[in-house]
């Protein structure tokens, strides 16, 4: 407890941080809520002196938008696919890394590299890997001459190349590419957290389980996973939050088109929708969408916390 005599000192120390938070966090949040409830609010018109009536019209409009529903669907699909896959993969890799002695540090570094690499750059590499042809956008009758490395591999094993992301590609193929990319991008952080968790588990639990004759699978299921559950819960919750904010990964692979050449915007996400709304000076609509996104994240996180309260051992 701070002595009341010295409390003013504490406030002075806190003041710079509080000031920054007020300007860049608290005020924007407050303003977002305000704009969301002002009918058809537009920043441009507001500076010209227009006034807006209070109401929920922005929300109604956003929810009626076909494009918003498609963005919501894309976001949901990517979240539901990538969070479990990346969590399970990260867990397996972390357990694997933890159980090997030689080269552990080097492998750890390799697995962590994607984390320090720019996601747009990674996206471009992935786009090249999943390409059909070097840089062929255009008509349907284009002849396939060279393919990206993934298709090369598929061909090598005698399969037919898949149009992953180019003109005329399937929605499912697009989602598959996005899933691979997002999972790959999400792995390093999760591996790092889970590996840290694994290394903090007392080795004697494993010795005890071994003396009791538990199989490796049982040790994993009954001891490792429960003891790791706090980290797993953390990774899942932050994974969902990150998943709902997915945007740059789409830009990384599909560019600003947010979809294959023949169907721009097909893979747009919630954040993409907000971004687009802002760029057309429809701040009211953007704010409403942002609040809806906030609501969804809140509900999912509460759900996660509720489940983890029952399942997680602290």
Give the integer Cα–Cα distance in Å for 60 and 54: 13
Dmax over Cα atoms in the chain, in whole Å?
81
d(Cα 160, Cα 18) in Å, to the nearest integer?
Answer: 59
**Given the complex with other proteins, which of 212 and 256 has the nearer CB atom?**
212
Angle between helices 283-311 and 27-36 (to 10 degrees): 110
- 3-state secondary structure at position 157: coil
Which positions touch other proteins (CB under 8 A)? 202, 204-205, 207-215, 218, 222-223, 226-227, 229, 313
Q: Closer to other proteins by CB, 47 or 204: give it.
A: 204
Q: Are 284 and 26 spatial neighbours (Cβ–Cβ below 8 Å)? A: no
Residues 179 and 172: beta-carbon distance below 8 Å: no
Judge contact between 183 and 114, C-beta under 8 A.
Answer: no
Task: Tell me how far apart the alpha carbons of residues 96 and 36 are, in angstroms, rounded to a whole number.
Answer: 48
For other proteins, the closer CB: 140 or 212: 212
**CB closer to other proteins, 40 vs 229:** 229
- Nearest distance from C-beta of residue 218 to other proteins, angstroms: 7
Of 194, 271, 294, the residue nearest 236 (C-alpha): 194
Q: List the structure tokens of 181.
A: 């990319």
Kindly tell me which of 197 and 260 has the beta carbon lying closer to other proteins: 197
- Please state the closest distance from residue 202 (CB atom) to other proteins, in A: 7
Q: Which is nearer to other proteins, 22 or 307 (CB)?
A: 307
Query: How many angstroms separate the Cα of 270 from the Cα of each of 118, 165, 267?
Result: 21, 20, 10
* Least distance between other proteins and beta carbon 101 (Å): 12
- The set of residues, in sequence order, having a beta carbon less than 8 Å from that of 176 and lying 6+ positions away, is 164
Q: Where is 31: in which H helix or E strand? A: helix 27-36
Residue 204 CB neighbours (<10 A):
8
Q: Which is nearer to other proteins, 124 or 223 (CB)?
A: 223
Question: Residue 16 or 213: which CB sits closer to other proteins?
Answer: 213
Q: Cα separations (Å) of 195 from 94, 181, 242, 243, 247? A: 5, 22, 20, 22, 28
């Amino acid at each position: 407890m701070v002595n009341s005599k010295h409390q003013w000192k504490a406030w002075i120390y806190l003041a710079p941080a509080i000031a920054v938070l007020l300007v860049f966090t608290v005020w924007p949040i407050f303003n977002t809520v305000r704009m969301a409830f002002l009918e058809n609010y537009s920043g441009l018109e507001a500076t010209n002196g227009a006034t807006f009536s209070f109401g929920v019209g922005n929300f109604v409009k956003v929810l009626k938008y076909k494009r918003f529903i498609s963005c919501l669907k894309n976001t949901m699909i990517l979240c539901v696919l990538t969070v479990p896959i990346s969590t399970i993969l990260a867990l397996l890799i972390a357990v694997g890394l933890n159980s090997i002695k030689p080269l552990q540090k080097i492998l750890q570094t390799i697995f962590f590299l994607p984390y320090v690499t720019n996601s747009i750059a990674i996206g471009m590499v992935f786009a090249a890997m999943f390409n059909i042809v070097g840089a062929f956008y255009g008509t349907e009758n284009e002849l396939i001459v060279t393919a990206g490395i993934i298709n090369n591999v598929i061909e090598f094993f005698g399969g037919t190349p898949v149009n992953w992301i180019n003109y005329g590609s399937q929605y499912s193929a697009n989602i598959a590419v996005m899933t691979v990319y997002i999972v790959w991008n999400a792995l390093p952080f999760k591996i790092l957290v889970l590996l840290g968790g694994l290394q903090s588990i007392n080795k004697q639990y494993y010795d005890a389980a071994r003396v009791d004759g538990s199989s490796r699978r049982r040790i994993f299921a009954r001891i490792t996973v429960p003891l790791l559950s706090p980290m797993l819960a953390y990774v899942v919750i932050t994974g969902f939050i990150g998943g709902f904010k997915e945007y740059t990964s789409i830009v990384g692979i599909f560019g600003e088109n947010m979809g294959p050449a023949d169907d721009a915007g097909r893979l747009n996400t919630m954040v993409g929708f907000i971004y687009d709304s802002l760029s057309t000076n429809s701040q009211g609509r953007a704010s409403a969408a942002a609040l809806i996104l906030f609501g969804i994240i809140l509900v999912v996180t509460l759900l996660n916390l509720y489940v983890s309260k029952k399942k997680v051992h602290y």
